[in-house]
Structure 1
Amino acid sequence: MNLLTALRPGLPILIGAALMLSVSMGLRQSLGVFMPALTQDIGISVSEFTLAIAVQNLAWGFLQPFAGALAVRIGYRPLMMTGALLYILGMTLLCLAQGLLGVILGAGLAIGAAMACNGSAIAMAVASRPVSPALRSTVLGIVSAAGSLGALMAAPIGQLLSQDHGWRVGVGGFVIMAMVILPAAWYAGRVDALPLPPSPLDEKDNAPDMARFALKHPPFAVMTLAYFVCGMQLVFLTTHLPSYLDLCGMDPMLSAQALGMIGGFNVLGSLFFGWAGGRYNKLLLLGGIYVLRSFGLAWYFLSVPTPENTLVFAAIMGFLWLGVAPLVTGYIGETFGLRWQAMLGGIAFMSHQLGSFMGALGGGLVFDAMGSYNRAVQVGVAVGLLAGMVQMAFALRAELPPGQPRPA
């Protein structure tokens, strides 16, 4: 039996989840294309625009556990449809913004709340349900890879519309594209009709109790803390790599090429780690990703940047980028069952988003204080190596919670 045949009964759900994730991730990752024209037109600074994006990330992170818990109570379809409407509202508010308040309400709060309902934690939890445990990790890798494809389409479309007709028309195009999330969420919502596989932990009917139970499990707690370092390293790169290359006198197009290289290799990495997670220890693979990222950061920032080594570095980091998502989600489902998977994934993701906030803000503060990124890179490498090694150590002694049978 080939993969497509095995997945056929759940294909509408999987396609809906992948499309929902692709569009929602692609649009939010492409908002930066409007920043120069938008800030100049409505009279706000670049730092004020990035404040709205920081608000978006924090809103997404802090609301994610609550969205996951709500999915258990009301079902995934109502939650995801609400998120789709919030996404359309957020893009509309941004399109009509006349000042900072409109940008923060639209690009910040509304889209952040929408991502908690339509982002990776929910999409991956939905995709876990209609497939067998043997195929689950591979499918999660495929859905995670879809999250990278949206930006490859959204960014060029937004840039083209903005250049030819102005940034408001460009954001208006994003409003139309966001409407695709509605039918995608509807089809993904068919997952509510599927029965949950039995789990010894299904008796836990209280979200706070389940959260406390998981956080007392050392491997989960370590994985959640290490996820903070993941977010810190990645957002430091996406935020500050263009500035670093500019300081080094590189061609401005090189940063765009590097970010594109990250996106392309991210697809390959997500597919690979989804496949590998079905065959090897997921926590061990996570630790390996953090260690390899740290070595990559040390190698690149200790060498003289050139176009060639910059693109090689971007390819390496891209391959190690979102491969963490199928590993984290797969481990949670395997260890705690599927019922509370979205909520527990949200707890881990909240740690990731706090790290993202610190990566963006901390890198800027270090640069302002010292005039270079050297100390920020040193901290990023050191904590990345520490997190990776601790993660790998716990992977080797990880035990499942009491009463949970070890999968065959």
Structure 2
Amino acid sequence: MHPAATQPLSLKQVLVCGAMIVTLSMGIRHGFGLWLQPITQEQGWSRQAFSFAIAVQNLSWGVIGVFAGMLADKLGAFRVLVAGAVLYALGLLGMAFSPTPLLFALTAGVLIGAAQAGTTYAVIYGVIGRQISPEKRSWAMGVAAAAGSFGQFLMVPVEGQLIARLGAHTSLVVLAAMVLMIVPLAFGLREPRHDSVAVRRHQTIGQAIREAFGYPSFMLLTAGYFVCGFQVVFIGVHMPSYLRDRGLSPEVASYALALIGLFNVFGTYVAGSLGARLAKRKLLAAIYITRAVAITLFLVVPISPLTVYVFAAVMGFLWLSTVPLTSGIVAQIFGVAHLSMLGGIVFFSHQVGSFLGVWLGGYLYDRTGSYDIVWYIAIALGVFAALINLPVKESAIARPAAQPA
């Protein structure tokens, strides 16, 4: 066991190591939709079986993310990141060699979900919140989110080529080896021991949770994040199959997912930068209503590679732009002492939405032969999320006195 660092972490070190970790973790997961048809066709499984495993993955990520955030707040991010990397590699190997839908759900679902809880935004943003000054925090969170988007842009075409050249199983083994690169990067996020304990003496975990759940704006943010998860995971997992069903080539789907990642680099960076100057709640409302409009137009116009690429670019700009804004509001309201945990709680709602989005996509497709109903639900939810984000209060919560731990 390596002792915690004694020197403060620099802005550059936090951003470089955090961004590379998110690039690997998020980049790999964004390509999982590319395995839907190869695995289901080879194994003779339904699309619902694959969708259920990915749905379990998102739910596992959400549930375990709360506890991963608690551990990261208490012990520092380093240990959580290392454990997450090992679980990720084991989950990818299980995804490659699972002979039954149940085992596939346990590995691609539970294991990888737990791994993502320990290697993505809640843990990384906790380090950013504790190590970077408030005036630069929103921007830094945007940079980290943009890194995840770059990971999608970089990794989805790579994963597509790996599948084409090596096959579905061997390509997953290669990814399992790649994800272990998170371990050396985690050494760059070992926080100074005095920093990792000093910020949380005013509240216990229980006090922080009760305060958050008793604050209406926290609940509104949590409900809005549900919609984000529903939309992006449904599109990310099922759009490749939707496009193939409409007669477009697999390359169109790969390029579309890559475009989502490319434009998300700009969208998340812009969102983080604007969040430092403008009301984050209004930016969130604008993002959700624009998503609803974009999906509506995508369904209305005749489908072609061009319309797919335009839709992918627009959705990409909006894809993870909610992440730095939502996390930034949580930090503004409650401070950074329990940021990873509270971010994990909000993200749990996101993952419940993800579970429903990906599972309903497979379930309703198997029942109706179409994704249309889920597209319509995504539009309605976008309008709902825009409306409930507007009344959110972003100012720091009023605490009459420090609560003894």
How many residues are matched?
394
* Counterpart Cα distance in 2 of 1:65 and 1:94: 24
- Greater length-normalized contact order (CA 8 Å, ≥ 6 residues apart): 2
Deviations 1:107-128 (A, max 9, x none): 2211111111111111122222
What letter corresponds to residue 315 of structure 1 in structure 2?
Answer: A
1:336 Cα deviation after fit: 0.8
> What SS is found at the alignment partner of 1:203?
coil
* Counterpart Cα distance in 1 of 2:206 and 2:242: 43
What letter corresponds to residue 215 of structure 2 in structure 1?
Answer: H
Identity of aligned residues (%): 35
Paired residue for 2:98?
Answer: 97
Change in Cα spacing, 1:404 to 1:115, as seen in structure 2 (3 Å) is: farther
Paired residue for 1:258?
Answer: 256
TM-score, normalising length: structure 2: 0.88
Task: Give the stretch that moved more between structures: 378-387 or 43-52.
Answer: 43-52
* Counterpart Cα distance in 2 of 1:343 and 1:300: 37
* Counterpart Cα distance in 2 of 1:316 and 1:32: 20
1:345 Cα deviation after fit: 0.7
Paired residue for 2:147?
Answer: 146
1:251 Cα deviation after fit: 4.3
- Say which of 227, 235, 238 aligns to 2:236: 238
Paired residue for 2:193?
Answer: 193
Paired residue for 2:202?
Answer: 203
Deviations 1:373-398 (A, max 9, x none): 44433332223112202211x14x55
Question: Does 2:58 match 1:62?
Answer: no
Deviations 1:311-348 (A, max 9, x none): 22211111011011111111111211111101111111
Deviations 1:261-302 (A, max 9, x none): 211111110110010011111122111111111111122222
- Say which of 378, 381, 392 aligns to 1:380: 378
The question of whether the paired residues in 2 share the 8 Å contact of 1:125 and 1:342 is answered with: yes
1:174 Cα deviation after fit: 0.9
What letter corresponds to residue 234 of structure 1 in structure 2?
Answer: V
The question of whether the paired residues in 2 share the 8 Å contact of 1:158 and 1:173 is answered with: no
1:353 Cα deviation after fit: 0.8
Paired residue for 2:51?
Answer: 50
Question: Does 2:364 match 1:341?
Answer: no
What letter corresponds to residue 21 of structure 1 in structure 2?
Answer: V
The question of whether the paired residues in 2 share the 8 Å contact of 1:43 and 1:99 is answered with: no
> What SS is found at the alignment partner of 2:195?
coil
Paired residue for 1:275?
Answer: 273
* Counterpart Cα distance in 2 of 1:285 and 1:85: 37
1:75 Cα deviation after fit: 2.3
Change in Cα spacing, 1:373 to 1:48, as seen in structure 2 (3 Å) is: closer
TM-score, normalising length: structure 1: 0.87
CA RMSD of aligned residues (A): 2.7
- Say which of 352, 355, 362 aligns to 1:354: 352
Paired residue for 2:5?
Answer: none
1:399 Cα deviation after fit: 4.6
Structure 1 unaligned runs (5+)? Answer: 1-6
* Counterpart Cα distance in 1 of 2:78 and 2:238: 37
Deviations 1:115-172 (A, max 9, x none): 1111111112222222211111111111111112223333344443443343332122
1:42 Cα deviation after fit: 5.1
* Counterpart Cα distance in 2 of 1:167 and 1:299: 34
1:56-135 pair list within 5 angstroms: 56-135=57-136
Question: Does 2:17 match 1:19?
Answer: no
> What SS is found at the alignment partner of 2:57?
helix
1:369 Cα deviation after fit: 5.0
Task: Give the stretch that moved more between structures: 24-33 or 289-298.
Answer: 24-33
> What SS is found at the alignment partner of 1:195?
helix
Task: Give the stretch that moved more between structures: 342-351 or 353-362.
Answer: 353-362
